[in-house]
Amino acid sequence: MNKGYLCLVLHSHLPFVRHPEHEDFLEEDWLYEAMTETYIPLILVFERLLSDKVDFRLTISLTPTLISMLGDNLLQERYLKHINKLIELAHKEVERTRWQPEFNNLANMYLARFYEARNVFERYNRNLVLAFKAFQDAGNLEIITCGATHGFFPLMDVTKPSIRAQVKVAASHYEKVFGRKARGIWLPECGYNPPDDEIFKEAGIKYFLTDAHGILHGSPRPKYGVFAPIYCKSGVACFGRDLESSKQVWSSIEGYPGDSVYREFYRDIGFDLDFEYIRPYIHPDGVRINTGIKYYRITGTDNNKEPYNPHWAREKAAAHAGNFMFNREKQVEYLYDLMQKKPLIVSPYDAELYGHWWYEGPMWLDFLIRKVYFDQKTIRLITPSEYLAENPRNQVVTPSMSSWGYKGYAEMWLQGSNDWVYRHLHKASLRMTELVKQFSRHSTDGLLRRGLNQALRELLLAQSSDWAFIMGTGTHISYAVKRTKEHILCFNSLYEQIKSNTIDEGWLSDIENKDNIFPDIDYRVHQ
Amino acid sequence: MAILRKIKEGLKKIIQNKKSSSKGAGLAAKKKTAEEAKKETLGIRETAVEQTKFSHPEPARQPWRIPQEIPWGYGEDRAVLQVRDPWWLHAYWEITGATFDNLKARLGDTFYSSKMVIRVYDVSDIIFNGSNAHRFFDIEINLEANNWYIDTGGPGRSWCVDVGLRLPNGDFITIVRSNTVRTPSEGPSWITDEEWMIPEDMFARLYGMGFGFGRSSPVGKGWQEKMKKEFFSSGAVASVGMSSSPVKKPVKERQFWMVVNTELIVYGATEPDAKVTVQGKGIRLRPDGTFTLRFALPDGRQVIPVQATSADAVETRTITPVVTKETK
């Protein structure tokens, strides 16, 4: 009999980046890199677990923007081109490194992985969402939704209809894609502000997750800390993040990904090799970029890195998985005695940490899941809805406003470099509400309805927290600034055109074609 | 560029705010608890990793649409208040020229001897009618400011602000009033419920564990000290509070460096339908029968036999370059 539960949660998200008007668009690589390095390796882990009959449980959020991009024909076409170029480059690398066996092995490893990635991509009909859906239908994966475009809810407090639109658009999108209702929601950046849960409830959502202090600073005091979920007054459950298990993976001091045998993220042949040679595989303007082929391990802090050794890295990943499990067992045993009840450890991570940043991450996850399944009896993997089904009685607490960002609140998205956006986002939101009030009672004809729906799309796209996040980091901000302004401008023009009954159909078609997310959107959800 | 100016202004304000808060709220800053501090290190790490999702240099590219500027404002008097964290609020506002003109007409010369201020009201648990706040304080701002970060020093309370004029005689004229917000509390709630009672020491233990201090961590002051020590010795603290960006900037030490690598290009030509091997491995010819190979060249001696065999396998030619590389 187990003494507690471990709930692993991966949050997968990328903002909607799709530029049909350009042949090559650098920021689309965010998606292609994450596909090759994170989503496909995770899919392979799940496939192997299932074929070895390991009955695992994992929770993953797939944001509506990510799902939309993964299912988009144009981006699928472009991914195929992208992976084919990588295969070509890896072939060249196998040849180039012929006299350097330590690199030649790695070039062959990358070549095999790129072929494998293309193979997985083709096997799932070019839409990786179908893979995740299959694991959910098999009962091993619980897919949860997120804000439609990952808007940061606490900074929409003055425009609640936008939170409602973010949640409802996401919930109906989820239902259409997965053929069932979303049970849980990953709040963008874990941003919670009471009583947003009332809106989640309207959309039929049963639970969400917050950072530790969301629950620990909730009122009244949570009897079991973050080790049991609580119910908000609305009846929606809230699960709190356990920071001890987070720290083991995230911490720059003791975190696993910093181990010296693991692969170094920052040494990529896109930057290391001769310009003329690498030129066809970097940006057409000649800007060097990461290719994904990286030959070194973390080693020390200087530039003299040692070549990566996949066997050592694999052994270390197994050891780290064992260490993680041991610590959870100890944690659960201790808590079980203290609480007189089976504790729940919720460990959420950014999915893109696994594979993209921490190359061995998917392997670590694979080892961890197997070890938990075969080697011990103290902890059991569980999903939030399973936990709630088994433990329906929980304390009622109002969680505290919180996020999992820098300093735990809103500062990452509200500082000198990005605070200017809210003046415009809020105004656009108020105008959207005004449009809904004005038009929703009458039957709207084709063109007007199209304009209203597109206005909501533009508003949602402007609200992605990613733009403020990138501005907040202070590096490479121009794209984020441009996207924010562009969607605001489109929204403002649509608003003027709708109000004056002068919708420019040609232009509307253009932006519908470009910002084509959520084809079934209904503007009336924004109220 | 309007937006750049705007950002600069914002930065200036933050610096101003930091300066003023370092005097006034110095004590509050010192009171920062260890869990907050730890949270910050984790936050930095996570931010840095999340940022790698978007890790690209920026190419110089043409804008994909004729650049237009978003409006400065929307021609209305409006103030909005948002919560940044338990201590700080952010207010932004717009006051139209017409409103200022009216005020000037009404006040005459007094307008110019008046101060633009933000009046911050503590309106916790009341319905604010403009005069029943628990307390208020004023922040003097310049006329051009259109947003401000406000140090309330009051977690877990409700706030509302007026942007207005304070006349030389002390009277205050509200120009715009904001919405009301509530800051989250900075620690655990004092409210407990009977049904889910929990002894103080047990909650303290769970509380510490929730923040990742491990089961062996002593609870209370002890662990706070321990975490503080660990935190301050990690070096990560240097970036906290000094910079508004959580992403670690590379340390500016002298880091001059150089890398030299060598590659060898082997190229040649034969009949387009010939079979060619290099060091025994087959290679593919271009349609015109030429080929180019490129090898990373390590130190040492490389013997590179290149062999071509005619399509009918009758004739064979072998040419063997020998290359020695040494690094001094």
Q: Least CA distance to B2: which residue of chain A? A: A420
pLDDT tops 50 at residue B247: no
| pLDDT tens per residue, range A226-248 | 999 999 999 999 999 998 998 88
Instruction: Tell me whether residues A250 and B82 touch, CB distance under 8 A.
Output: no
**Structural tokens at position B82:** 């948002």
pLDDT interval class at B56 (50, 70, 90): low
Shortest distance between the Cα of A180 and any Cα of chain B, in A, equals 30
Instruction: Tell me whether residues B56 and A29 touch, CB distance under 8 A.
Output: yes
pLDDT at B59: 52
Cβ-contact A167, A147 below 8 angstroms: yes
**Measured distance CA(B141)–CA(A225) in Å, rounded:** 43
What phi and psi values does residue B315 have, to the nearest 5 degrees?
A: -110, 150
pLDDT at B238: 28
> For the residues A300-326, what does the mean pLDDT come to?
90
pLDDT tops 50 at residue B262: yes
pLDDT tops 50 at residue B3: no
pLDDT tops 90 at residue A521: yes
pLDDT tops 70 at residue A440: yes
pLDDT tops 50 at residue B21: no
Q: Please state, rounded to an integer, the average pLDDT across all residues of chain A.
A: 95
**Measured distance CA(B64)–CA(A511) in Å, rounded:** 13
pLDDT tops 80 at residue A462: yes
Q: In what helix (H) or strand (E) does residue A212 lie, and over which residues does it extend?
A: helix A212-216
Helix or strand or coil: residue A434?
A: helix
Q: What angle do CA B227, A242, A216 make, to 5 degrees?
A: 80
pLDDT tops 70 at residue B237: no
pLDDT at B230: 34
CB-nearest to A331 from B74, B215, B297 is B215
List chain A residues with CB under 8 Å of B63.
482
| pLDDT tens per residue, range B207-216 | 888 776 644 3
Q: Is the dihedral of CA A38, A41, A45, A47 positive or negative?
A: positive
Cβ-contact B140, B117 below 8 angstroms: yes
List chain A residues with CB under 8 Å of B245.
417, 472-474
**Which among A433, A41, A277 is positioned nearest to B263, based on CA atoms?**
A277
List of residues 6+ apart from A133 with CB closer than 8 A: A143, A177, A178
Cβ contacts below 8 Å, chain A against chain B, sum to 283
Q: How many CB atoms lie within 10 A of CB A198?
A: 15
Q: Please state, rounded to an integer, the average pLDDT across all residues of chain B.
A: 77
For every residue of chain B, which 3-state class applies, written as one string? Answer: CHHHHHHHHHHHHHHHHHHHHHHHCHHHHHCCCHHHHHHHHHHHHHHHHHHHCCCCCCCCCCCCCCCCCCCCCCCCCEEEEEECCCCEEEEEEECCHHHHHHHHHHHCCHHHHCEEEEEEEECCCCCCCCCCCCEEEEEEECCCCCEEEEECCCCCCEEEEEEEEECCCCCEEEEEECCCEECCCCCCCCCCCHHHCCCHHHHHHHHHHHCCCCCCCCCCHHHHHHHHHHHHHCCHHHHECCECCCCCCCCCCCCCCCCCCCEEEEEEECCCCCEEEECCEEECCCCCCEEEEEEECCCEEEECCEEEECCCCCCEEEECCEEEECCC
| pLDDT tens per residue, range A158-191 | 999 999 999 999 999 999 999 999 999 999 999 9
List chain B residues with CB under 8 Å of A411.
84-85, 88
**Structural tokens at position B318:** 């072998």
Instruction: Tell me whether residues B58 and A287 touch, CB distance under 8 A.
Output: yes
> How large is the ipTM?
0.93
pLDDT at B6: 47
List chain A residues with CB under 8 Å of B46.
250, 350, 404-406
**Measured distance CA(B151)–CA(B161) in Å, rounded:** 12
List chain A residues with CB under 8 Å of B179.
158
User: To which residue do tokens 């041991």 refer?
Assistant: A326
CB-nearest to A251 from B42, B90, B244 is B42
For every residue of A78-139, which 3-state class applies, written as one string? Answer: HHHHHHHHHHHHHHHHHHHCCCCHHHHHHHHHHHHHHHHHHHHHHHCCCCCHHHHHHHHHCC
CB-nearest to B85 from A331, A410, A478 is A410
pLDDT at B248: 41
Shortest distance between the Cα of B320 and any Cα of chain A, in A, equals 16
pLDDT tops 90 at residue A49: yes
pLDDT tops 90 at residue A149: yes
pLDDT at B213: 62
| pLDDT tens per residue, range A356-369 | 989 999 999 999 99
**Measured distance CA(A432)–CA(A163) in Å, rounded:** 13
- Give Cα A47 distance to the centre of its chain: 20
Q: What angle do CA A359, A364, A367 make, to 5 degrees?
A: 150
